[in-house]
Amino acid sequence: MTELRSRIAQFVIDVADLDAGVAFWSAVLDATEETLGADSQPVYRRLKLPDSDIRILLQRTDDPKTSKERMHVDLETNDVEAEVRRLEALGATRWDHQQERGHEFWVLRDPWDNEFCVLPPEFPTLLARRDPVPQPSPTPLS
């Protein structure tokens, strides 16, 4: 008998526009798009994270959001306010500033109203191994 094995393969995020979803979440997570079969491309796009074997799967849906998510992504950062400003520049919006259990963090929404959190470091040793977040090139003055 084969040993049973299970693992988280991917985290699914609903978006109304797959191209915009890839652009937003790739920039947020410093992820790269993986090619899917032609039959999957109208509904799904998959992103590979730079430091994890778990994938992000973007799923196209026209269903309106009706309530709070029961699952969401938490991002940790060494500078919460700077990261929130970067994410706002990408299209996220601030939703709720939280203070609980001695922690202060922001709940943001992506362009499709999916909630995600920006936290101070939870795993500082792992965060220290990450490359710095790519910064946008300055816009030349005319």
pLDDT digits (tens, 9 = 90+) for 33-42: 999 999 999 9
Query: pTM, whole model, 2 decimals?
Result: 0.81
pLDDT digits (tens, 9 = 90+) for 6-26: 788 899 999 999 999 999 999
Rounded distance between C-alpha atoms, residue 114 and residue 95, angstroms = 10
Residue-level length of the chain: 142
Q: Is the dihedral of CA 42, 29, 12, 34 positive or negative?
A: positive
Supply φ then ψ for residue 14, to 5 degrees: -80, 135
**SS3 (DSSP) at 113:** coil
Contact between 60 and 16 under an 8 Å Cβ cutoff? The reply is: yes
